[in-house]
Amino acid sequence: MTGMALNQAFIPRDYEVFVGLDVDKKSFSATVVDHQMMMSRSLRMPSRADNLLAYVRKHFPGQKVAFAYEAGPTGFGLYDQLTAAGHPCLVAAPSMIPTAPGAQVKTNRLDSKKIAESLRGGQLKSIHVPSLAYRHLRHLVQLRDTFVRQASAFKNRIKSLLLYEGIPFPMAPASCQWSLRVLGELDALACAGPVRFKLDRLLSTLRFAQEQTLQTTKEIHRFCRQDPEISRCLEYVTSVPGMGAIGGSHLLARIGDWRQLRNVRQLGAFLGLTPSENSTGQGVDRGSITTIGDERLRNKFIQSAWVAVRQDAELKEFFDRVYETHARDVADRVAIVAVARKLTTRIYAVLKQQRKYEVRQNADKAL
């Protein structure tokens, strides 16, 4: 999922022609339909928006044309060009495009036809397409996460190598296992030539990933400071206990414009922190969280929740209350997810009200 669903009313009767697009790197597969199905054309053309716009101007002059395509690796460049030309364009999440039961044939032409017919029928909802600033921030937070994962992977490879060779890892507290002192001891370990060579390469790559993580983190901070809206919103988000600049900037990159937030439940659902449900009749059957959306951002929220429990007495009380109502083997996981979901309601409030988080002095309760 690339963004949040945009609560924007698209009314099919306001348009005369509907163009469904299946977009890939080299070409568009387009299907054009109208309300009466008197017209249904399928065509293929190079993946250039100006070719598509020229076709529409030539064949449908003076008519209201709407476009839709599936969110994917080609990004939002096509959306930008179509909307700049004055046409509405919906970018639909793949999981939200209706599919006929039992359909077993998939081609670009059939996909474009399905999108065109769903657009005409009002069955599509567009994701929220972020503005350019939020897209750029998204690149930076994704890059940082890439380097963090690489550093973690090389730490595991170094430990695996030492374990395989029977070489003890330098003694250090859990929080300091990769300090400069430990890295220096790893540099000086006595071992066979090939093992030493492999260890040196692993250490070199680990240091590279750590340095790139640091540089990317600095760039995220610089980028956020230079954009007034992002800087302001980040200040509001990080005023919530437990929320740091990294988690806050990642959140803003994913949700984009705070004005598109519709209700207090939306953030929790977007992060996959709401319970799944399979209820029938009078029975209510709720299961584990949905885990949809950005897994890395959800993990950051869980980490922030643990920090918040230590910083905020109200959240600590809430955590304990949830903990006591569940079996001991799952209580801590259920309780911390509940705290993370509560953080989303606070963040929703500070973003929608455009103010910092505050605590009532007389009752230690959030305003």
Residue 126 lies in a domain: no
* 145, 187: one domain: yes
Least confident range from 3-17, 192-206, 287-301: namely 3-17
Residue 40 lies in a domain: yes
142 by Cβ neighbours in 10 Å (0-12 / 13-18 / 19+) ranks as middle
Mark residue 6 as left, alpha or beta (left: phi above 0; alpha: psi -120 to 50; beta: remaining): beta
* 246, 328: one domain: yes
| pLDDT given at position 4 | 43
* 164, 248: one domain: no
pLDDT in tens, 160-195: 999 999 999 999 888 889 999 999 999 999 999 999
Domain that holds residue 94: 12-120
* 98, 153: one domain: no
Residue 7 lies in a domain: no
In CATH, what number is assigned to the domain containing residue 31? 3.30.420.10
Residue 359 lies in a domain: no
| pLDDT given at position 364 | 47
**From edge to edge, which strands make up the β-sheet containing 27-34?**
40-46, 27-34, 17-23, 65-70, 89-92
| Closest alpha carbon to 203 in 240, 248, 169 | 169
Residue 364 lies in a domain: no
Instruction: Collect contacts of 288-297 with beta carbons under 8 A, ≥24 apart.
Output: 289/337, 292/1, 293/1, 293/254, 294/1, 294/250, 294/254, 296/145, 296/250, 297/247, 297/250, 297/251, 297/254, 297/271
| pLDDT given at position 98 | 85
pLDDT in tens, 83-125: 999 999 999 988 888 887 766 778 888 999 999 999 999 999 8
The residue count of the chain comes to 367
Mean pLDDT across the chain: 89
In which residue are the tokens 């509560």 written? 342
Q: With 70 as the cut, is the pLDDT of residue 284 above it? A: no
pLDDT in tens, 300-320: 999 999 999 999 999 999 999
Residue 211 lies in a domain: yes
CA gap 252, 232 in Å, rounded: 11
pLDDT in tens, 135-162: 999 999 999 999 999 999 999 999 999 9
On whether the CB atoms of residues 118 and 68 are closer than 8 A, the answer is yes
| pLDDT given at position 263 | 87
In which residue are the tokens 């103010």 written? 355
> How many domains in the chain?
3
